[in-house]
Copies of this chain bind each other. A is one copy, B any other.
Amino acid sequence: MSITKNEIKLIKSLGQKKFRQQEELFLVEGVKGIREFLDSEFELYQLFATEAIFDVETKLISSKDLQRISGLKSPNTALAIFRIPKPKPEKESSLILALDDVRDPGNLGTIIRLCDWFGIETLVCSLETVDCYNPKVVQASMGSLTRVQIKYTDLEDYLKQSELETFGTFMDGSSIYSEALPKKGIIVMGNEANGISPNIERLIHKKIGIPRFGNLKATESLNVATATAIVLSAVKGQ
């Protein structure tokens, strides 16, 4: 079967957040990723594939058509459209990770995988944080997106209303290696370029940081995804 113009139009539009929100749909590419979403609570809307490899209704298309609708350089057999689920009531999580305007899709994808690995069930994202249904985030987070609950909200209001203790990562925070880290609380990670913003900083109870062991005159900081890995590991490993 050939792919229709309307299908192409819909798929292309789902590259943009505006249309994902309007249609309440998002894209998943590749056999492995699609399988994880099919095995999860996510609801399939439509599946396109060059071979009938899934046990669900599939529209078989040519490789050439897949190339046309794919966002990848080397498309992998299938592209699926899933429904964006309705937000669930927040779990009573012991430890929550919150992101203050993380903008890079690869970073958010890595952070979602880290939440999955370290058993962080709730990820709270500021409204300026990149959309977790962005195709690059879906690609980078792999199946972890099916297992981590992600909530977009005004982070300032969220922190004000929360009764949990808040921890923020800063260059000059006290060392994660000597500080007693929370088993319960909210850990905030900042934006790639600017770190945690001043209005959020005011709501942080405790500043923590990753000490540098190498050349102290070096100016670079750690990437936010790398820093998140180190902080979550320190919290869970303590």
Contacts and interface: CB of A to CB of B under 8 A. Distances in A.
Interface of A: 110, 113-120, 142-144, 147, 176-177, 210, 212-215, 218-220, 222-223, 225-226, 229-230, 233-234, 236-237
A59 to B, nearest CB: 27
A165 to B, nearest CB: 20
B236 A233 contact: no
Contact of A214 (B115, B210, B214): B115
Contact of A220 (B113, B120, B214, B219): B113
Nearest to A230: B233
B143 A226 contact: no
Contact of A222 (B113, B220, B223, B236): B113
Contact of A116 (B110, B142, B215): B215
A39 to B, nearest CB: 10
A230 B222 CA distance: 13
B118 A214 contact: yes
Contacts of A215: 116, 119, 147
A22 B100 CA distance: 46
Given A214-B117, A229-B230, A223 B147 contact: no
Given A176-B237, A230-B229, A233-B233, A214 B143 contact: no
A213 B143 contact: no
Contacts of A147: 214-215, 218
Given A229-B230, A233-B234, A222 B143 contact: no
What are the 5 tightest A-B residue pairs by CB atom distance, in nearest-first order? A177-B237, A119-B214, A119-B213, A230-B233, A226-B229
Q: Which of A142, A210, A225, A229 has the most CB of B within 10 A?
A: A229
